[in-house]
Structure 1
Amino acid sequence: MSIDLTADCSRCAALCCMALAFDKGADFALDKPAGVGCVNLRGDFGCQIHDSRIDAGFSGCLKFDCLGAGQRITQEVFAGVDWRDTPAAIPDIIEAFRILREVHRLHELLGFAADLPLAPAQRDLLHALMEELAPNGGWTADSLNQLPLGRLSSDATSFLGSLKTLAKRGGISGKA
């Protein structure tokens, strides 16, 4: 299954602006706890300082990429749930967002491996890992919570590490 790993803020309920904590410093002009909407968040989930985030002290916003997890949580997993109107759902939304962001990160890394000239056994393992990260029925809050993310992350890291020599020969560099 192909997963769109491109963030689409227009289809999201500003989850990164709510779910993530900000620490005042070089990247953020203020402290903000996780689970609280940013002070710059408008009622339509847009950002009132979007065009001046760097000048306003929010360069950290430009550095984060949810890899498409935000809109999937908003549109699929918690479709129709507005965290501002349903504060009791915030912890579940945050946890689902955290898990799906990691799923998308692993999928992105494994996608790089798909371009390598893998042996049949390696390709089979790659497909098995990617299938676990993209279930046919899609994700629900329950299926995300039941996902053995630690094991999958460890398996993906081990698999990618086993490809270092192949990646170097193929001209791919970076962390595996």
Structure 2
Amino acid sequence: MTAEGAAVHAGKKKDYALVDASILIADCNKCAALCCVSLAFDRSDWFPIEKPNGVPCPQLGENNQCKIYDRREQEGYRGCCDYDCHGAGQRVTQEVFKGRSWRTEPQLLSDMTRAFVIMLRIHELLGLLDAASALPLTDEEIDTYDGLLMDLSPSGGWSEDKLEAFEGQGTEKRVRAFLMTLRHHVV
């Protein structure tokens, strides 16, 4: 999940874990079209219709591909053109559900939707930590960073139970608080 790295921070060299940036790259071919089913959107300049979460987009084809992919913007689906799950979709499909899909097992729809929404937040936090790793972190900041990265990269990978437990751990709040402490690096 993570690669070991070393950086010079505050004049010291300390080994620390790095976010595996490859997991933050979306691969729609390994996903069960979770963004097209899990996310809600309102009629706006970004979308021509209202769609609740957990309901497949009417433009989603049976093959998990968008029926209007090349015409999304012209058809009013500008929000889809700008959207990137940063790898959360395929991670839920492949890691959490072991390649299973709501398409072949409709009873998974609710669970996959819930897992996707949580994994989106985890991937957002991983992306933020990845950006923070480029800063000249102190040894103490590296220790905090490493602990947070471990919380976001559980041993054995993510499961439904681990995702549900993530909700009550306060990791998201701790990551955001940590990031606020790094302001002195960018001022």
Q: Which position in structure 1 is the counterpart of 2:143?
A: 124
Aligned length: 168
Q: How does 1:40-59 map to 2 (within 5 A)?
A: 40-59=59-78
CA gap of 1:46–1:93, structure 2 versus 1, over 3 A, is same
Within 5 Å, give how 1:75-90 maps onto structure 2. Answer: 75-90=94-109
Structure 1 partner of 2:8: none
Quote the Cα distance in structure 2 between the aligned partners of 1:153 and 1:34: 22
- Give the equivalent residue in structure 2 for 1:6: 25
Q: Distance in 2 between matches of 1:149 and 1:99?
A: 12
SS in 1 for 2:51: coil
Provide the identity percentage. Answer: 40
Offset at residue 32 of structure 1 (A)? 1.4
| Unaligned stretches of 5+ residues in structure 2 | 3-19
Report the residue type matching 2:24 in the other structure.
L
SS in structure 2 at match of 1:108: helix
- Say which is worse superposed, 87-96 or 149-158, in terms of deviation: 149-158
Question: Offset of 1:136 from its aligned partner?
Answer: 2.4
Q: Distance in 2 between matches of 1:14 and 1:148?
A: 23
Q: Which residue does the alignment assign to 2:157?
A: 138
Structure 1 residue runs of 5 or longer lacking an equivalent are 169-176
* Residue 38 (structure 2) aligned to one of 19, 30, 34: 19
Q: How many angstroms does 1:80 deviate by?
A: 3.5
Distance in 1, Cα, partners of 2:148 & 2:140: 12
Q: Which residue of 2 aligns with 1:171?
A: none
Deviations 1:31-79 (A, max 9, x none): 1121111111111101110011000010011222111000011111112
* TM-score, normalised via structure 1 length: 0.90
Partner of 1:71: 90
CA-based RMSD of the aligned residues comes to: 1.4
1:111 aligns with 2:126: no
